[in-house]
Amino acid sequence: MYYVNDNSCIMDAVLLKSVTRVNQLKELAQLLDAEILPLVVSISGRVSSETPIHCEFSGLRGVIVEETAEQHFLKHNDAGSWIQDSALMLSMSKEVPWYLDDGSDRVHVVGARGATGFVLPVASEVFEESGRSLVRGTLDYLQGLKMLGVKRIERVLPVGTSLTVVGEAAKDDIGTIRVQRPHKGPFYVSPKTLDQLIANLGKWARWYKYASMGFTLFGAYLIAKHAIRFILERRRRCELQKRVLAAAAKRQGQDNEGEKADTLPDGTKRDRSMPDLCVICLEHEYNAVFVPCGHMCCCTTCCSHLTNCPLCRRRIEQVVKTFRH
């Protein structure tokens, strides 16, 4: 059974609750004469037909028969090994006019294979092995194939099966009543009762509701996670920028004091190099080069805790310690 979303499940459940329940099929003719058309009804009965199909493999009598035949074989691939594969040989479908009968009257069903909930049960599944011969084996080897056999599957809607049909009821000129797909509304053909269909739709609606709530919460979590990461990254960059500016101001002040201290009485300046401070701890000199970006702004102690360069945010692949003397 296929559903699009929880809204369609809820809508179908509401529509199924509103359909006219026909307890006996003989009442349907009176409803068609009295009610305003179109009339969507729910009927139940056993499958019957004047011209049933005699199934070849299962021996059953059915009104809808689907037969498929698949050839199974081993084929030689490029790697030199054999892999199993199959190919569809035959796909056949038959249907005869059929109706539901509950002992009081009969109602013909039209277009059941396109209805929701309609499934043909497997009546027979047979595997016929391929015959072995020297000539056949040689040909298979030259073609890179090994025939295993043919799998035949027969799906049948047997006569006597109890079904519930929800659809639009109509009467033709000769008085034959049929149930078909409505222009608007649900169309179900199922072995389940109407109450079971409604309960099943309610279960699917609840499942979709919980799933949609879960996806909504997960999406909100992802959005919040990215928002928090963005805010923390902006804050980290601002703090780093403040520390770099503070370090630059401190360096400038030290340079000015150093120039005054290094000025000799004769006006010449004493040669004195000021230490370059790490932008992280602002205590030790920076003595490490990041590879591949090439920036040198941290000490080796602070580098051990970094994965990205504080200046360009490029990933650090290697740290090279440098020496001034």
pLDDT in the model for residue 4: 41
CA 105, 65, 180, 117 torsion-angle sign? positive
Residue 252 pLDDT > 90, yes or no? Answer: no
Both structure tokens of 74: 């081993």
* Range of weakest confidence among 10-19, 66-75, 223-232, 302-311: 10-19
Higher pLDDT, 137 or 230: 230
- Which tens digits make up the pLDDT trace of 290-317? 999 988 888 888 888 888 888 888 899 9
Predicted confidence band of residue 142 (pLDDT cuts 50, 70, 90): low
For the chain, give the percent of residues with pLDDT over 90: 27
Predicted confidence band of residue 247 (pLDDT cuts 50, 70, 90): low
pLDDT in the model for residue 136: 61
Question: What is the average pLDDT score of the chain?
Answer: 81
Superfamily for domain range 275-325: Zinc/RING finger domain, C3HC4 (zinc finger) (3.30.40.10)
Residue 255 pLDDT > 70, yes or no? Answer: no
Q: What is the pTM of this model?
A: 0.57
pLDDT in the model for residue 157: 95
Residue 87 pLDDT > 70, yes or no? Answer: yes
pLDDT in the model for residue 272: 45
- Which tens digits make up the pLDDT trace of 157-202? 999 999 999 999 988 888 889 999 988 888 999 999 888 888 877 6
> CATH 3.30.40.10: which residues of the chain?
275-325
Nearest C-alpha neighbor of 11 from the set 293, 162, 189, 208: 208
pLDDT in the model for residue 202: 64
Higher pLDDT, 268 or 215: 215
For the chain, give the percent of residues with pLDDT over 70: 79
pLDDT in the model for residue 321: 87
Mean pLDDT within 207-220: 76
Higher pLDDT, 18 or 258: 18
Residue 54 pLDDT > 90, yes or no? Answer: yes
Indicate the angle between helix axes 194-261 and 6-18, nearest 10 degrees.
160
